[in-house]
Structure 1
């Protein structure tokens, strides 16, 4: 009887639940969505234009400031030279030589400024030839040590079987030296600089997230310092021309912009990884030399996902990276639990609310780091395997004592194929 009564009451309302929008209403909704999309695109375009104008304004102001200083040096010393010639005496020769040298120095600085501007704009003439990166770094090692001074240790780790790259060796030396000098300034109280080379492959996933860099084989140069690190806002502007955190007169702010311009003009990519209090790694990716036009080789890697009912717990403080990892693992049919830091992970385990088979954790996180998190879970007798991630070079991390030899480590950027391989490798290990 109750079910009949319910049906009688609900019957008049049924058409509302089953109401199908008319074609006219559907067209109105589609038009509204299209209009919303247009407004969003216009807003994004205005933001990009605003950012571009800000960069141009900064560039113009910096160029005007620096060139006015250099022109003052050149023209001022030439005026002194002219007056010296008019009132020639015994001391004039020495004075004339001094002011001419000063004017010449100003002209050379102007030429370097122009060259760096051309590098940033990717308009400098390059003379690329096949270069062995390990040999180039080895030849520069003594110069690096003299530049860094006695209170900074230098370690250069050249990977065996490194590929050659087609680059202008002079511009490449200048780019690496710029990074080394920046690292030295960051480590005013001493520290360690690690330069490491390796072969690398950029896949479609990484390419789509990083300005559509061509997929293919690259040589990676990772330069890591143990300085104070860069905050996010500084990282975002680090390659902008004339942007500098140094005191006035201590730097032009063109060093890293020159690096960026050279690498991009050479067909490569440059990336900064940094955390406050943990140092900075700058990675240069330069296309492998194939003795002709670079044709990316397709590397086929068998991707194996979950065997069923396996859960990966992610601890990563960068939301964009955490989202990418979670989505990738879900595509591989893993159950995924996401946490922004170690404290959130430990709180969840403390409530007994979760179980997992593998912990995928960033090494450097605010508060408790990834290694400390793993140690705490072991102390609590939580049975799960651990895979670490880092944006720093493997050698720099190990030599700073943050990881023991033999632990499983993934270096960022992380491709789907490498993530799948490492996770499967650990889960299958008895």
Structure 2
């Protein structure tokens, strides 16, 4: 996403530099900055149009974009920030109008792995992916690529998948009486967000358990979703998804035994 943003900021061509390194940083002075500590840094630099100073404070807001209509969702930087903050890091941005932009992603430096922890995590993922209950899961996401990845994970967990590209399409599927045991809604869909969809779905299927997935960076952006159901933050692994599905499907154990 950062590389695509840099490309778009250089309509007449330019230089895109991706670099890595290690840095020690002091106390944060902005919400998106990393806490004080030792970090591995990934930086993306371009010599494009740059970002106006008055806009720098808004670039991590969900749906905010400086691109032309139809060229950007305004979610990329928000999701990038969410990823690094979920990992315990942060982001720093330096930009000069007319000269270019550098965005640095800070990820906490990890101690040398012994391999024991990684093996334990692999075993955990396998155990979470094993289930004796096969259910039908409705996945609703207006991003086809993300929807396909989520669907692949659900199938890897041994469940059936029904896909919908929008809230309206999901409502049509349910109205036709499709067999759906659980639902996964992306929170930040354009026409109808996940919480709005869940409210309408509950009129048709009040018993249907719903899992929300989101890349929102700020906790405030999750309040509605947390109030409406269980939330899984992006990025996530198969084991994470399996644990959340087990959490919402668990109460259905007495009535879910399809296929």
TM range (shorter): 0.5 to 0.7
Say which of 28, 32, 38 aligns to 1:165.
38
- The aligned counterpart of 1:185 is 55
Distance of 1:319 and 1:406 partners within structure 2: 24
- The aligned counterpart of 1:288 is 109
CA contact (8 A) 2:39 2:106 kept: no
Distance of 2:225 and 2:216 partners within structure 1: 12
Q: Secondary structure at the match of 1:122?
A: strand
- The aligned counterpart of 1:122 is 19
Structure 1 position 322, deviation (Å): 0.8
CA contact (8 A) 1:164 1:289 kept: no
Structure 1 stretches (4+) deviating beyond 4 angstroms? 155-158, 181-184, 293-297
Say which of 218, 221, 232 aligns to 1:397.
221
CA contact (8 A) 2:22 2:40 kept: yes
Distance of 2:207 and 2:53 partners within structure 1: 41
Distance of 1:253 and 1:351 partners within structure 2: 55
1:17-416 equivalences in 2 (<5 Å)? 58-59=13-14, 120=17, 122=19, 128-129=23-24, 131=25, 136-137=27-28, 140-141=29-30, 164-166=37-39, 184-185=54-55, 224-225=60-61, 228-229=64-65, 233-234=71-72, 251-252=97-98, 254-255=100-101, 258-259=102-103, 263=104, 284=105, 286-290=107-111, 298=118, 299-300=121-122, 301=124, 302-352=127-177, 354-393=178-217, 395-398=219-222, 402-405=224-227, 407-416=229-238
Distance of 2:174 and 2:137 partners within structure 1: 14
Change (3 A) 1:183 1:327: farther
- Bigger radius of gyration: 1
Distance of 2:53 and 2:220 partners within structure 1: 14
Q: Secondary structure at the match of 1:136?
A: coil
CA contact (8 A) 1:186 1:228 kept: no
Distance of 1:407 and 1:379 partners within structure 2: 15
Change (3 A) 1:403 1:326: closer
Q: Give the alignment's Cα RMSD to 1 decimal.
A: 4.1
Residues 228-256 of structure 1, C-alpha deviation per residue, up to 9 Å, x if partnerless?
Answer: 346674579x99xxxxxxxxxx822621x
Where does the alignment leave 5 or more consecutive residues of structure 1 unmatched?
Answer: 1-51, 61-116, 142-154, 176-180, 188-192, 194-222, 240-249, 264-283
Change (3 A) 1:376 1:186: farther
How many residues are matched?
211
Distance of 1:183 and 1:403 partners within structure 2: 32
Distance of 1:368 and 1:235 partners within structure 2: 14
- The aligned counterpart of 1:278 is none
* TM-score of the two chains, using structure 1 as the length reference: 0.41
| Structure with the higher strand share, 1 or 2 | 2
Where does the alignment leave 5 or more consecutive residues of structure 2 unmatched?
Answer: 1-6, 46-50, 78-95, 253-259
Say which of 222, 234, 241 aligns to 1:419.
241
> Greater RCO between the two (CA within 8 Å, min separation 6)?
2
* TM-score of the two chains, using structure 2 as the length reference: 0.64
Structure 1 position 338, deviation (Å): 0.5
Q: Secondary structure at the match of 2:188?
A: coil
Q: Secondary structure at the match of 2:211?
A: strand
CA contact (8 A) 2:27 2:36 kept: no
Structure 1 position 127, deviation (Å): 6.8
Structure 1 position 358, deviation (Å): 1.0
CA contact (8 A) 2:40 2:109 kept: no
CA contact (8 A) 1:224 1:392 kept: no
Change (3 A) 1:395 1:332: same
- The aligned counterpart of 1:202 is none
Change (3 A) 1:380 1:156: same
